[in-house]
Structure 1
Amino acid sequence: MRVRKQISVILILISSSFSFLLQSSAAEPTSYPVKHQIVQIEGLDIFYREAGPADAPTLLLLHGFPTSSHMFRNLIPELSDKYHVIAPDYPGFGFSSAPSVDDFEYTFANLASIMEKFTEQLQLNKYSLYLMDYGAPVGFRLAVQHPERVETLIIQNGNTYQEGLDNPFWEPIKAYWQDRTPAQGNKLRSLLTLDATKWQYTTGVRDVRAISPDTWGHVQPLLDRPGNQEIQLALFFSYGSNPPLYPEWQAYLRKYQPPTLIVWGKNDQIFPAAGAYPYKRDLNKLEFHLLDTGHFALEEEGTTIARLMRKFLSQHTDTAQ
């Protein structure tokens, strides 16, 4: 009798362990490899990273300056089990074509036009927008043009308000808006050096040792390509076309009320936290987080941002699995 009881206990333990293993296996997210692809838009090679099931809610990640879709290299795998994640490089950035300023008009309106054609060629009819830095003026142009396509917004250090643009970083750029001369442009070339790139990645972070040199190791050689400084100077000047559109973008927020997640590096000296607070004026469905890090918040707070995004998106996207 005692032997039978022992055997019964062992069988129960084995059954429980097997059930636990099955549950654990089922709980593990499906791993989707990141694909690195190129699509032709108006004769340009537009490089993009893509992962996740094609029938899942789409996340369109729009990068900042001076980086590319490389800034999302760690975020994409964190989300691709439940979302169709796409991160393109603008012309002149990353692995996309970088024609000279004589052959391509480097304005934010034109970058947005290329991105609009990109979404249409990939048949992205509905998406959430991740807007960071340059991604904000590109993405808000898309949103105003096609509000029916935007499911949610995730905004990380990207301005739509005048607040936050009154700091020392912007002073020489604003002078260039008023006086587009070679002399004024030359004053901005220091923003394209290795020291300036490192400064963007490391200023305001809690622990500089947590910031991989793979960041500026990727960015700087691309900035140093022949002709690329002229591309960046053209975009510095074109950034002046964005603030006059802020009232239109704010009106879009008030009218359409897209559910919005703010995940903002509060120690950023380019787009400081002062630029984050005004979103509260216009949005009713706003989740607001200031993170104790700098401009490229994903480098130090990527895990936190991914967690916040998963929770937010599960509440506000139509078919999250």
Structure 2
Amino acid sequence: MRRAIAIVLGVFALLCVALLALSKPDIPYEELEAVYADQDSQFMTLESGLKIHYTDSGQRNRAVIVLVHGFAASLHTWENWRNELKDEYRVISVDLPGHGLSRAESPDMATTERFSDVVFELLAAREVETMTLVGSSLGGNVVARMAVAAPERVEGLALVGSSGLAQARHESQGQYLIFSLLRAPVLGRLLRDLDLSGLTRSELEESFFDPSFATEEMVERYIALSRAPGHRATMFALLTRPRTFEDILDTAGLDMPILLMWGRNDGLVDVANADASMAAVPEAQNIIYDNVGHLPHEEIAAISLADMKRFLLRVEWAALAEQYVVPAGDPRLVEDRID
């Protein structure tokens, strides 16, 4: 009996040593900012005390485009689009709490509701009243919630690889191995602080139809930013909270132009969600790209950006039409005719 107990204790000790050897410490924000902040980076401390990283660039007197990234990502995902759009629009991109260079809050505050409130608070501080919201993956859930909460402020809504408006019954969200492992109650907590570099690399490669888009630089950025203080706890909370990716929203009040973009080969959000989303918002424009994965704005940046620009023109025309609408009975509706 004593020998059996000794063996068990020995195995447990070896496991503890192995976990300690594989664990990776947090990286201070200051070190991460030195590498991943760019010339457009700005930081703001909100009234709640939360420090947010964002960019606000482009044409100050033009329409505002707000870009919100997905789970475990950062505002860097929009770099190609942002660099092009800021020539014609005012473009704001934001790191959600516990992502990128934004600070993390308590894990119990890691919800799409809280994230949408944070983005609204940032926009208020930047004196933005109306905007077009664009969200990728989980960011689509965030911006969809914002549009439902304040449709009068949202001129246009675009979701990229996101089931934020509606979910198909056979939703495949979160089927990547790393997500499944982190969701496990005990194993997830153990894995949270380990070196998952290899797993992160493979999952990023699966985010693209062409895995070569997951460059070494991208993999290193994802791994490094995930090790910011509190970020791993935020991601763990998002993954383990029921319905994080499956908000049920009342879309009846959404009458703004809506664009839905999908990669037909998305392994994270099943393209079947396109049908569910179109049923929820039948007037939306729906684009499905062949041979594209979860991140069309990165994998086919030029093609998807061209579609986005066409959508933004439609948003501008819709805003102008609403601004200059003439009420029924107005004398300006009567045309002078020369017989």
Instruction: Return the TM-score normalized by structure 1.
Output: 0.76
Aligned to 2:287: 289
Q: What's the % identity of the aligned pairs?
A: 24
In the TM superposition, structure 1's runs of 4+ consecutive aligned residues that sit over 6 Å from their partners are 170-177
Pair 1:40-2:45 in alignment? yes
Alpha-carbon distance change, 228 to 211 in structure 1, aligned in 2, over 3 angstroms: closer
Q: SS at 2:96's partner residue?
A: coil
Letter in 2 for 1:54: R
Any residues of structure 2 matched to 1:75-94 within 5 Å, and which? 75-94=81-100
Partner of 1:147: 151
Q: Can you list the C-alpha shifts for 1:85-109, whole angstroms capped at 9, x where unaligned?
A: 11010111111113454xx722222
Do the aligned partners of 1:34 and 1:49 also contact (CA within 8 Å) in 2? Answer: no
How large is the Cα RMSD of the aligned pairs?
A: 3.0
CA distance 1:130–1:34, change in 2 (3 Å): farther
| Offset at residue 121 of structure 1 (A) | 1.0
- Call closer, same or farther: CA 1:267–1:94 in 2, change over 3 Å: same
Say if 1:69 and 1:94, in contact at 8 Å, map to a contact too: yes
Query: 1:316 Cα deviation (Å)?
Result: 1.9
Deviates more, 1:202-211 or 1:273-282: 202-211
In the other structure, the counterpart of 2:71 is: 65
Cα distance, 1:197–1:138 mapped onto 2, change above 3 Å: same
Q: Does 2:179 align with 1:203? A: no
Q: Which runs of 5+ in 2 are unaligned?
A: 1-37, 321-339
**Alignment partner of 2:234 out of 231, 234, 238:** 231
How much does 1:189 deviate? Answer: 4.2
Mark the CA change 1:83 to 1:167 in structure 2 (over 3 Å): closer, same or farther: closer
Match for 2:122 among 118, 121, 125? 118
Is residue 138 of structure 1 aligned with residue 103 of structure 2? Answer: no
Cα 1:106/1:56, change in 2 over 3 Å: same
Partners in 2 of 1:188 and 1:46 — Cα distance?
27
Deviations 1:110-169 (A, max 9, x none): 222211211111122111111111112221221121111111111111113231524671
Q: Which moved more, 1:65-74 or 1:278-287?
A: 278-287
Aligned residues between the structures: 277
In the TM superposition, residue 239 of structure 1 has moved relative to its aligned partner by 5.2
The DSSP-based 3-state class of the residue aligned with 1:240 is coil
Tell me, in whole angstroms, the C-alpha distance in 2 between the residues paired with 1:255 and 1:152: 13
Aligned equivalent of 1:127: 131
Could you tell me how far apart the structure 1 residues matched to 2:141 and 2:277 are?
15
SS in 2 for 1:255: coil
TM-superposed CA distance for 1:67, in Å, is: 0.8
Query: For the structure 1 residues 188 and 111, does the alpha-carbon distance in structure 2 shift closer, same or farther, using more than 3 Å as the test?
Result: farther
* 1:32-89 deviation line (CA, Å, top 9, x unaligned): x962111111212211122211111111111001111010111101111211111010
Gaps in structure 1 of 5+ consecutive residues = 1-32
Secondary structure at 1:256's aligned position in 2?
A: coil
Alpha-carbon distance in 1 for matches of 2:54, 2:303: 24
Q: What does residue 218 of structure 2 align with? A: 215
The amino acid of 1:71's aligned partner reads: T
Amino acid at match of 1:111: F
| Residue 209 (structure 1) shift | 2.9
Name the CA distance, whole Å, in 2 between partners of 1:264 and 1:188.
31
Amino acid in structure 2 at the alignment position of 1:47:
H
CA–CA distance in 2 between the matches of 1:35 and 1:241?
30
Shift of 1:226: 4.9
Q: Distance in 2 between matches of 1:256 and 1:81?
A: 28
Shift in CA distance, 240/174, structure 1 to aligned 2, threshold 3 Å? farther
Q: Which moved more, 1:261-270 or 1:282-291?
A: 282-291
